[in-house]
Amino acid sequence: MYGKKQSELLDGTIFCSSVHGGLRLQKQKTLASRVSYDGIGLHSGRPVHMELAPAPPGSGILFARADLPDVPPVAATAAHVTATVRATTIGAGALKFFTIEHLMSALHVHGIDNCRVMLDAEEPPVADGSARAFFELITRAGSIEQDAVRQETVIDRIYRVDNGGHFIMALPYDGLRVSFTSLNEHPLIGVQYYDIKVSPSAYEREIAPARTIAYEKEIAALRAHGLGLGGSLETVIVYNDEGWMNPLNFPNELVRHKILDVIGDIRLAGMVRGHIIAVASGHALNTALAKEIAGERDQA
């Protein structure tokens, strides 16, 4: 079930432990300059202008509506997650923002603590369905250290959240590492596994170009529910029973994109330092883990 409060060792032993977020004497970082990007939303299909701007120390990642300047922004934290159907949605008060995970993933790997994300719609642009455009945008903006100490979320025990045969867990690790096993019944995909020690260079090369994937037979149902309206062969990899409808960036692009999503979703618990291991996890499990980690950190 979601939110399992016990901890489990790799050999199956159960134990309980107190935990707190650790401090490392690093400086917080924000963007060195403003940058912008125009596109359409993956699910809304609506045009959107996005601007990433520097933010003061301690701000965190804030999502705001440029066309609603009097409405307070929404902090990208686990506590503000409101939905996880095909994307991660955050909301507070009158505002909500969905499909934030690709941008959050790129911000996480770049080590950006504080940033103001200005949008004139509810959803960031999809670009090509990956995080590559966002990673390059942040690279172009550059980053600067701020006069404040970063409080990392240091995983110092084992967290685990289960849902049937699917699970995600976090273990102590000196750095950020993600190991993911995806399970897909379609013979074209099957079981895929990938493991990466996350660094900006490794992420840029191995994870950022991995795009969102959809099964052709599911598209009509998604659109009937108001999802995937901005999807096309330019923004999503599509497969059917005959094969792939557009070229892949990697033979195992699906599992790499799953890792991209994990990195974005887990950023909702802060700047995480640990090893994330997942089997067939999606946004619901990812954000449930982020909530559990962030909840214990807040209580420390």
Instruction: Tell me the helix, strand and coil percentages in the chain, rounded to 5.
Output: 25, 30, 45
Q: 67 labelled as ligand-binding?
A: no
Contact 202, 196 (CB under 8 A): yes
Annotated catalytic residue: which of 43, 108, 110, 283? 283
Nearest to 31 by CA among 7, 8, 50, 11: 50
Whole-number Å distance between alpha carbons of 163 and 147: 42
Within 69-158, residue ranges assigned H as helices are: 101-110, 132-141
257 is in an annotated binding site: yes
The answer to whether residue 283 is catalytic is: yes
Exposure string over 5-34, b if 16+ CB within 10 A, otherwise e? eebbeeeeeeeeeebebeeeeeebbbbeee
225 is in an annotated binding site: no
Known binding-site positions for Zn(2+): 102, 257, 261
Q: Which residues are annotated as a binding site?
A: 102, 257, 261
- Catalytic positions, written as ranges: 283
